[in-house]
Structure 1
Amino acid sequence: MFDSLSDRLTSALRKLSGRGVLRPEDVEATLREVRMALLEADVNYKVVHDELVEMLGANTEGLRWAPAPPTLVMLAGVQGSGKTTTAVKLALWARRQGRQPMVVALDLRRPAAIDQLRVLAKQEQVDFHSGSGAVETIAREAVAEAR
């Protein structure tokens, strides 16, 4: 039973992670799928919700912008965890906050990830930076460009 529930929850959440722009109706559809999976597995939805809120951080703190731009944000995670789409979503959010975001490709071992970030950034009209050579060099160039 646990494997079936785990598969259904994973499937529902994967549908969100691959989207360039997350719409409220996407979140609602996923939440419906999660609720149904929990109900069918006879799991109390409120208990799971409360535990997830506690685990993920009941007391959230907003992003603290650097006093002088740029503000740097690094995303880390295993392959396929949604870093690329999250980076562009964060950039869109920053733009709505009146900022001028830039996404920087530093995963040099995965050219496909760089291409995906480039495509998503272009699609959403977000500044993009990449380069060749050492990660540190590319990062320094991006910071200089952002200033």
Structure 2
Amino acid sequence: MAVGSRGRTSSVLSSLPLQILLHINGLYYIFYFSATLVMIVYKSQAFSYPDGFLAPDLALLFVMALLEVPRLYFGSKGNLTEEEAPLGLSLVLTLGSALLCVYFLLWQTYVLRADVILNALLLLTYSLESVLKVTAIAAFVS
């Protein structure tokens, strides 16, 4: 606890580990998106992609990217302003991103070893973030 200039005590409840993980995840997602996009293009050239399967894989990757931006924004905003609502919204968006990550891990048309590694790492960071978000929300509420 720190003593403020007027004698009031104040404490910082925002989570530094969560903020660091959000930043790292933002950087990793740029790599993840690029690598996954390149692999989808590679798989479409190297393997015979069934008709009608390439577009949904690409569309889901772009939907995931669209979810990632507000997920990181609300996570960071909620953590830094110590507000539960943006952090809770980020947690819900994390669930959506995690489901899409599971799709790319298990159910996309072709799954390469590189896909497994990239998606497993992303799921790990989503899991750690979720635990830290729930912990931060609990700290903000109490």
Q: TM-score, normalised by structure 2?
A: 0.29
Query: Looking at both structures, which has the greater relative contact order when contacts are Cα pairs under 8 Å and sequence separation is at least 6?
Result: 2
Q: TM-score, normalised by structure 1?
A: 0.29
